[in-house]
Amino acid sequence: MSAEEPLFRVVRGVPTAEELAALVGAIIVRTRPAAAPVPAATSAWARSGRPGGSRGWRAAGLPR
């Protein structure tokens, strides 16, 4: 593809500047790679309510 060749063209209709901007924005969003979601950190408050620690849920009912 040469530098003079357009990336896309409108083959039917007469879009407004706003419609073309929306189309370009949609194309850009769809073509960029998706970022991996950042895992949410568990707060100390939430961790304090979980039984067992590293021994798992089976040991949660046993005396410590």
> DSSP secondary structure string, 1-64?
--TTS-S----SS---HHHHHHHHHHHHHHHSPPPPPPPPPPPHHHHHTSSSGGG-GGGGGS--
Which residue's structure tokens are 């407004």?
16
Q: How far apart are CA 59 and CA 64, in angstroms?
A: 9
pLDDT tens digit sequence for 6-43: 878 889 999 999 999 999 899 888 887 777 778 888 78
Contact 52, 60 (CB under 8 A): yes
Specify the pLDDT at position 17.
94
